């Protein structure tokens, strides 16, 4: 059976490694703060004291650490990943880093005879727990093919995007897009709706910069259909919640789940 290593057991790494264990894989873990390994050891994980030892005892090692600085320290520091590398071993960095960092790490791994894949994830804590992440992979294609069984238990989809750096770029694009083009429908009903509210809402919409329309419905409610960036809509929705003091503000429909503004809200309650 293939042996997996997992370095970095934070919010994301912890449930991802747990899913590998749940799938019945052999998993060796390490975390800078060692006691974060305890829960996984109880679930059957093996433990090593250094990243180098994890890499040396695994066929494929995943890393999920905070940022580019952490990714480089993990790799280049004493007793780090590079020290444990042998010919043919696989190293998959699933952290979010910039393309230049990924290429630097890739070059060092390949120089030592190892294989490197970047595989930043789209998704957050819940998808990591549910095994529904999306992996944006680039780098060594043979390593990608070999790791597919692991990706399948940690995620719902993995893409192979080509040479090292392309996965990191795709992750940046997705991050940028997820902050834009959110669409929300809002219905305001209650005792202060109507033309006055409509003008106030229009002024608020102009101030926050959202685009869309606001109209009075035949039943007296005010209906707003708007589109904008997350921060703009956040600001507009809180205005709606705070603006009409005795009205019921209902977010009717949204096109993205998980945004904190998208909850039904009744100011009178």
Number of residues that bind ligand NAP (CB under 6 A): 22
Among 237, 103, 71, smallest CA distance to 168 is for 103
78 is catalytic: no
Residue 107 sits at the vertex; the CA angle it makes with 106 and 111, to the nearest 5 degrees, is 115
Pick the binder of ligand NAP from 56, 60, 65, 184 (CB under 6 A): 65
Q: Return the number of other C-beta atoms located less than 10 Å from residue 100's C-beta.
A: 11
Q: Is 84 in the site for ligand NAP (CB under 6 A)?
A: no
Based on the shown chain and the rule CB under 6 A, indicate whether residue 39 belongs to the binding site for ligand NAP: no
How far apart CA 258 and CA 242 sit, in angstroms, is: 21
Question: Which DSSP helix (H) or strand (E) runs through 252?
Answer: strand 247-254
User: Is residue 237 within the footprint of ligand NAP (CB under 6 A)?
Assistant: no
Q: Which stretch binds ligand NAP (CB under 6 A): 63-71, 107-115, 144-152, 155-163?
A: 63-71
Confirm or reject binding of residue 129 to ligand NAP (CB under 6 A). Answer: no
Residue 33 within binding range of ligand NAP, rule CB under 6 A:
yes
In the 8-state DSSP scheme, what is residue 214? E
**Residue 22 CB, nearest approach to ligand NAP (Å):** 18
CA atoms of 29 and 6, how far apart (whole Å): 5
Choice between 33 and 257, CB closer to ligand NAP: 33
3 state SS of 30: strand
Report if residue 61 touches ligand NAP, rule: CB under 6 A.
no
Instruction: Say whether residue 2 binds ligand NAP (CB under 6 A).
Output: no
Q: Which stretch binds ligand NAP (CB under 6 A): 27-35, 53-61, 193-201, 214-222?
A: 27-35
Across 52-63, b (16+ Cβ under 10 Å) vs e yields bbbbbebbbbbb
- Residue 126 or 253 having the CB closest to ligand NAP: 126
Contact with ligand NAP (CB under 6 A) among 125, 157, 207, 215: 125
Nearer to ligand NAP, 101 or 232 (CB): 101
Binding of ligand NAP by 132 (CB under 6 A):
no
Residue 66 makes contact with ligand NAP by CB under 6 A: yes
Give the angle subtended at the CA of 222 by the CAs of 218 and 226, to the nearest 5°.
125
**If binding is defined by CB under 6 A, does position 98 make contact with ligand NAP?**
no
Tell me: does residue 207 bind ligand NAP (CB under 6 A).
no
78 Cβ neighbours under 8 A, 6+ residues apart:
none
Distance, CA of 46 to CA of 94 (rounded, Å) = 20
Q: Mind giving me the DSSP string for 113-179?
A: T-EEEE--EE--HHHHHHT-EEEEEEE-HHHHHHHHHHHHHHEEEEEE-SSTTHHHHHHHHHHHHHT
Of 198 and 230, which has the nearer Cβ to ligand NAP? Answer: 230
Catalytic residue among 89, 171, 211, 248: 171
Catalytic residues: 171
Residues that bind ligand NAP (CB under 6 A): 8-13, 31-33, 36, 64-67, 70, 73-74, 95-96, 121, 124-125
């Amino acid at each position: 059976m293939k042996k997996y290593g997992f370095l970095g057991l934070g919010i994301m790494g912890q449930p991802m490694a747990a899913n590998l264990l749940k799938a019945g894989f052999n998993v060796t873990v390490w975390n800078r703060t060692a006691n974060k390994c305890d829960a996984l050891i109880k679930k059957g994980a093996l433990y090593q004291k250094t990243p180098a030892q994890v890499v040396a005892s695994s066929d494929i090692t995943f890393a999920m650490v905070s940022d580019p600085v952490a990714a480089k320290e993990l790799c280049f520091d004493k007793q780090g990943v590079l020290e444990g590398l042998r010919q043919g071993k696989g190293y998959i960095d699933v952290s979010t880093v910039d393309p230049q960092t990924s290429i630097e790490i890739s070059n060092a791994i390949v120089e030592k005879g190892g294989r490197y894949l970047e595989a930043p994830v789209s998704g957050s804590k819940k998808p990591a727990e549910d095994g529904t992440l999306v992996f944006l992979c680039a780098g060594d294609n043979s390593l990608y093919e070999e790791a597919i069984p692991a990706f399948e238990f940690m995620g719902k989809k993995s893409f192979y995007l080509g040479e090292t750096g392309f996965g990191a770029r795709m992750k940046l694009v997705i991050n940028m897009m997820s902050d834009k083009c959110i669409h929300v429908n809002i219905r305001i009903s209650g005792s202060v709706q109507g033309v006055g509210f409509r003008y106030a809402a229009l002024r608020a919409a102009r101030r926050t910069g959202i685009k869309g329309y606001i109209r009075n419905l035949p039943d007296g409610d005010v209906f707003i259909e708007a589109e904008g960036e997350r921060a703009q809509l956040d600001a507009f929705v809180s205005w709606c919640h705070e603006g009409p003091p005795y009205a019921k503000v209902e977010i009717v429909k949204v096109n993205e789940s998980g945004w904190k503004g998208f909850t039904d809200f009744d100011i009178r309650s």
